Structure formats: structure tokens, C-alpha cells
Amino acid sequence: MLHTLVAYVEDKPGVLNRIASLFRRRAFNIESLTVGHTEQLGVSRMTIVIDGSQTSVERVEQNLYKLVNVLRVDDVSSLPAVVRDLALIKVKTSPQTRSEILQLAHIFRARIVDVSKTTVILEVTGDENKIEATIEMLRPFGIVEMVRTGVVAMVRGPGRFDPAEVAAWASATRKPGERDANSNISSSV
């Protein structure tokens, strides 16, 4: 199962390197990692997707917490969350195929952001499944190049994670795979 972790980290030089180094050293397999600014000055937010069958999610959380610059880590996989990936896909077109591609774009609610005589660039946003489906449908036309941002996630509802607040340490004493329903992760969102 894929797990989505949201990590708040201090926006300092070298922090991304510390996290990448940790994953490499501990041989953690990650599916995707994104990082960007947050509403708070000096705090960056990472979304990390891990294949739980390859890498213990608890170990990733525990080891992230050992980094002094990591403020808070939450596994949002079991929470209702908006999860989005964005892809730019440059597809070959010809007068014969262009309208079909435009139709597909419409179905997937992708936007056409560039058109040339022989290509279009589609911008598509959604969860990973939707992006994968879009790519599959476009592949027969010939994908010239593609770029994806990686997944970002936000829990639904009025709450927010507070990086200043300690996330549940219950994770340390959970049995592998067991989720803690009463942790303050869920109560604060």
C-alpha cells in the first residue's frame, strides 16, 4: 500500500539533503517527494509517498523525527485528504489526431497549455491514478516528453497540522502495521 506522509521541516540550507541522505542511508524506497513553502515563514512542507510493502512507514517517520530540522510528520494515508499530482505531457499531433486528443483532454479535465503544428502540451492535475490513466490514453499518439511534480496532499476539513505541536509519539510503540486511531493526529484536524 502506498503511504502519504506530510512532513514540516525548517526552511534552512541543506535540509533537503539531510532528508535525501537519510533515505539513501537507510535504504528507504520512496515513490515521490515534493517540497515547497507553506503559509508559515521559515517552514517548508514535504509530501513523501512510500510503498509500505517495501519500506516500513513507522521507521521512516521515526527516522525523520531524528533529524533536528524536521518539525512534524503525519501519515495522512488513512485520513480523508486531497491528493494531487500535476503532469505536463507533450503529445505528437497531426490534423487527423488533434481533435481526438482535445476530446481526451476534455474528459480528463486537462488543459491545453501549448499548441504547435506537430505537438500539444497538456496540463493535467489529479491523483496518481488519474494521471496514469491520462498517460495511458495519450501514449498511442506518441508522448514526446513528460514531467510530473510528484504528489502533494492536504487533509480535508477546517483543521490543520500545527508544526509547533508534537505529533503522536504513539507511532513508536505501535506494532508494525497497526494504526493508532486515538492519536492527536486525527483530533487536530
Partner 1 sequence: MQLKGAQIIWECLVRKGVKVVFGYPGGAILPAYDAMLDYPIHHVLVRHEQGATHMADGYARASGTVGVAIATSGPGASNMVTGIATAMMDSVPIVCITGQVGSKVIGSDAFQEIDVTGITLPITKHNFLVTHPEEIAQAIREAFFIAESGRQGPVLVDITKDAQQASAEFEWDDTPVRLPGYRPQHRPQSAELQRAADLINNAQRPLILAGHGIIMSSGCGEVLAFAERTDTPIALTLLGLGGVPASHPLNLGMMGMHGEAWVNSAIQQADLLLAFGMRFDDRVTGNLQTYAVNAKKIHIEIDPSEINKNVNVDVGIVGDLRETLLELLPYVAERKHAEWRAHIDGMKGEVAVRDIQYLPDSGHLYAAHVINDLWRLTKGQAIVVTDVGQHQMWEAQYYKHEQPRTLITSGGLGTMGFAFPAAMGAKFARPDTEVWAIVGDGGFQMTAAELATAAQEKIKINVAIINNGYLGMVRQWQEFFYERRYAATPLRNPDFVKLAEAHGLVGIRVTKRAEIPSAYEAALAEPGTVLVDFRVEQEDSVFPMVPAGADLHAMIRRPSPLAETAADP
In the complex, the smallest distance separating the C-beta of residue 14 from partner 1, rounded to whole angstroms, is: 7
Residues 120-179 interacting with partner 1 (rule: CB under 8 A): 163-164, 166, 169, 171-173, 175-176
Residue 169 CA neighbour count, 13 Å, CB half: 3
Residues 40-99 interacting with partner 1 (rule: CB under 8 A): 56, 58-59, 62-63, 65-72
How far is 50 from 61, CA to CA, in rounded Å? 11
Indicate the helix (H) or strand (E) that contains 154: strand 152-155
How far is 77 from 28, CA to CA, in rounded Å? 18
How far is 115 from 90, CA to CA, in rounded Å? 9
Nearer to partner 1 by C-beta: 14 or 95? 14
In the complex, the smallest distance separating the C-beta of residue 155 from partner 1, rounded to whole angstroms, is: 21
Region of 32 please: left (phi>0), alpha (psi -120 to 50) or beta. beta
Which position among 2, 16, 18, 32 is part of the footprint of partner 1 (CB under 8 A)?
Answer: 18
61: cell is: 517517520
From 9-17, 115-123, 127-135, 145-153, span contacting partner 1 (CB under 8 A): 9-17
* Site of interaction with partner 1 (CB under 8 A): 9-10, 13-14, 17-18, 21-22, 25, 56, 58-59, 62-63, 65-72, 163-164, 166, 169, 171-173, 175-176
